[in-house]
Amino acid sequence: MATISATHSYFRFQQACRRSAPAPVYRTRFSRPSASMDSGDELRAKFMEFPYASAPQRDLMVELLSSVETHLGPSLHPCTLPSDVQHFGNPDGTAHASIHLRSGLPSSQVEFVLGAGINCKLPSGGALNITSLSAYLKPSTDAPHFLIELIQSSPKSLVLILDLTPRKDLISYPDYLKTYYEDTQLDRHRQSLQKLPEVRPYYSPSLYIRAVVSPTAIVVSIDGGERISIDEMIRDHVGPIAKEVLGFWMETCACSDRRTGESERSYLAERDRIIKTTTIEVDLGSSFPRLFGQQVSDRVLGVLREIYGE
C-alpha cells in the first residue's frame, strides 16, 4: 500500500498519536480464515463503495479500478485476501480501512495491483480520508510502477499524488528518462494543473518520498474556494489527467516489450523489495498499530508482508 502521508493534518495526527504510549510492532504470522469468508464478488462490491469518499472521488477511484480490471483482468488472479484483511477497523469505530489486491499470473508483467481506502477521525476534529491505487510490475521489465493517492483532510482541501515511479536511476540511465518521461511529455499534466489558482506544489516533509517519485510526479495541494470546489476540481481536472496517465501506464508499461537480463532483474527485485519493505515497516508499521490496535495491525501487516515477499 503506497500510503504516502502528505497533509499537514495527517502529520499533526501522527504527532498526536506518538504522544501516546506506542506498542511495539510484532512480526507474528496469523493463519488465514476460511469458513467465515464472504464471497469474492461481495467483498469487491463492498470495497468499490468507498463509503467515506466524496461522490466525485469515489467515482474516479471506481472508474480507475474498473479500467484496470477491464484491461488487465485476464492477467490477474482474483483477490484472495482474507475477509478480515480486505475490510477492518479499530474497536472504537474511529478508523476504517479496505484493501483490494490482485496479483499477476505467472505470464503477466504485473506483480500486483492494490487499491486501498483509509478513513480515520482526527484528534483535532474532522476526518482524514485516503484513497489510493498502486500497481507494481515484475523484475522481468524495468518499466515504471503506477501510483495515485488522494488525501483529503477537509471538504475544502486535498493532496494529490500521481506518478509513474521510476525503477532506475535517471542519471545513470538517460534513455530511461527519455523513454518514459521526456518523449511521453508527462510533465504537461503537472504544468496544466499548477496553472490553476487553486493548485500549488506540495513538498513532502519526507526526503525519502521526494527521492522515490519521478521528475514529472504530480504532488500538489488543492484548495477549493468560491471559484471552484474540490469536487469540481476532481471531476473536471484531476480525473481526466489521472485516467490519461493510467491509460498510458497500462498500454506502455504494464504491457511493455522491454525485457531485462538476469543481473538487471536482481537489481530491480532488490530495489523493489526495499521500497515495499519501507512502506510496510516505516509507513504502515508505525501508523497501523495506532489507528487499528496491535492485534488488527499484526493480522493485516502479517498478510501484506507475505505478499510483499519479506
What is the residue-averaged pLDDT of the chain? Answer: 85
How far apart CA 5 and CA 14 sit, in angstroms, is 9
Mind listing the pLDDT tens digit for each residue in 215-235?
Answer: 999 999 999 888 899 999 999
Name the helix (H) or strand (E) containing 298: helix 294-308
- Topology (CATH level 3) of domain 8-15+25-308: oxygen-dependent coproporphyrinogen oxidase (3.40.1500)
Left if phi > 0, otherwise alpha if psi is -120 to 50, otherwise beta: which for 133?
beta
State the pLDDT confidence band at 105, using cuts at 50, 70 and 90: very high
State the pLDDT confidence band at 19, using cuts at 50, 70 and 90: very low
**Residues 237, 245: contact at Cβ < 8 Å?**
no
- CA 27 → CA 24, 61, 83, 143, 285, distances in Å? 10, 32, 20, 32, 10
What pLDDT was estimated at residue 140? 95
State the pLDDT confidence band at 175, using cuts at 50, 70 and 90: very high
Domain boundaries, the chain: 8-15+25-308
State the pLDDT confidence band at 39, using cuts at 50, 70 and 90: low
Mind listing the pLDDT tens digit for each residue in 286-305?
Answer: 889 989 999 999 999 999 88
Residue 128, classified by CB atoms within 10 Å of its CB into exposed (0-12), middle (13-18) or buried (19+), is buried
State the pLDDT confidence band at 256, using cuts at 50, 70 and 90: confident
